[in-house]
Amino acid sequence: MPPTARKLAVGPCMVALLLLVLAGCTDTAVGGPPASPGAPPPGSSAAAVAPALDVAVVAEGFDHPWDVAQAPDGTLLVDERSGGFTAVLPDGSVRDVRADFGDLFAQGETGLMGLSLDPAFGQNRRFYSCQGVRWDGRTSLPASIAVIAWTVSDDWSSATRVADPLVGGIPVNARTGRHGGCRLAFAPDGALLVGTGDVADGGVAQDPRALGGKVLRVDPATGERAVWTLGHRNVQGLAVRAGSGQVFAVEHGPDRDDEVNLLQAGGNYGWNPGGGGYDESVPMTDRGIPGAIPAVWSSGVPTLAPSGATFLEGQEWGAYDGLLLVALLKGQGVLALRLDDDGALVEQFRLPELEGRYGRIRSVLQGSDGALYLTTDNGGGEDALLRVAPRR
């Protein structure tokens, strides 16, 4: 079935119907002990005033959507790992955005991944993707992971590459596509942040010359780049805390210790599986590395496979205002982290309305309208873009 036949938007009337149905069946209890649903810790402010949430399907029929961004006019832009951009317009209609993916390398965990709109999108119609690329569209030899800059037409019908690549040379695992990263976000000072994976190569994360296993700072106008932090295994999420300058990275651990890290310029986050092999039995943070920075949050055992992250803001969210929300793939839900002003962990719980009901969650974004937008990652053309908002 062609993509345009599969991606269906849910119109305003259907959304209203879904919200009425959800109002009757949604569990309004608040999440609880670390990394699991249930009652919150004693004394938690979230226990008394957390809002009940309504969840509605905005569009469906996607296959492994990786990221979502929202334009100032409310249009939602979604990408899929195997290639393709889709726009969901403010009136609810769904439009395929024509774009050239002839050189896309999509294998395993790598493909079309992170997505971010330029802060001046309203004026320049510019956005950025992070994706695996081949040498050209005729060979099967992957070259790298690249950040590409695009402009999109006013009617969202097509996108054109304008910096191809903006950043190249990020390593890729040519055999499996493993640990390809790759998340994008804008820092408060306007730098484009690029979170990358170590491509399952033991020497990459600690090599300051390699672009894998890092968070990069990139000038979005020129592509000039610098390694900002190193010692990462597989960065899957980046979240900027408004008004603080704090940036948090989310990454996958091996068989334990997924992490959320507060990034510091020049910081080393301690992943060091060895230059002569790839020893995944080592700790996620090797304390033997001078100055290795411990995680703000760690999953312990079992891992949850955290992915995209966003800070939640707005009085309508009640006790959820200010939380860092993290999408969970293996954990199949959304993890909520309450942090103090310095970025230290105060409390963690899971959002009950999303717990195990929609399968794997890849990305979570607070949109310009204050609502949350989530992409599922279950495959088989069965994935959806969800809208989550406090029940009124």
Which token pair is 193?
Answer: 């942040």
How many domains does one find in the chain? 1
Query: Are the CB atoms for 298 and 259 separated by under 8 Å?
Result: yes
> Nearest CA to 308 among 377, 390, 242?
377
Give the pLDDT of residue 378. 98
Query: Are the CB atoms for 376 and 78 separated by under 8 Å?
Result: no
d(CA 143, CA 332): 33
Give the CATH number for residue 322: 2.120.10.30
Q: Per residue of the chain (392 residues), give pLDDT as tens.
A: 344 445 766 543 333 333 333 333 333 222 333 444 443 444 444 444 899 999 999 999 999 999 999 999 999 999 999 999 999 999 999 999 999 999 999 999 999 999 999 999 999 999 999 999 987 555 555 679 999 999 999 999 999 999 999 999 999 998 999 999 999 999 999 999 999 999 999 999 999 999 999 999 999 999 999 999 999 999 999 999 999 999 999 999 999 999 999 999 999 999 999 978 999 999 999 999 999 999 999 999 999 999 999 999 999 999 999 999 999 999 999 999 999 999 999 999 999 999 999 999 999 999 999 999 999 999 999 999 999 999 98
Give the pLDDT of residue 141. 56
Query: Are the CB atoms for 272 and 231 separated by under 8 Å?
Result: yes
Q: Is 94 exposed, middle or buried (0-12, 13-18, 19+ CB in 10 A)?
A: buried
Instruction: Give the β-pairing of 306-311 and 324-328.
Output: antiparallel
Give the pLDDT of residue 17. 34
Domain that holds residue 248: 3-390
Give the pLDDT of residue 21. 32
Give the pLDDT of residue 392. 86
> What are the two backbone dihedrals, phi and then psi, of residue 321, each rounded to the nearest 5 degrees?
-60, 125
Give the pLDDT of residue 22. 34
Give the pLDDT of residue 10. 55
Query: Are the CB atoms for 132 and 110 separated by under 8 Å?
Result: yes
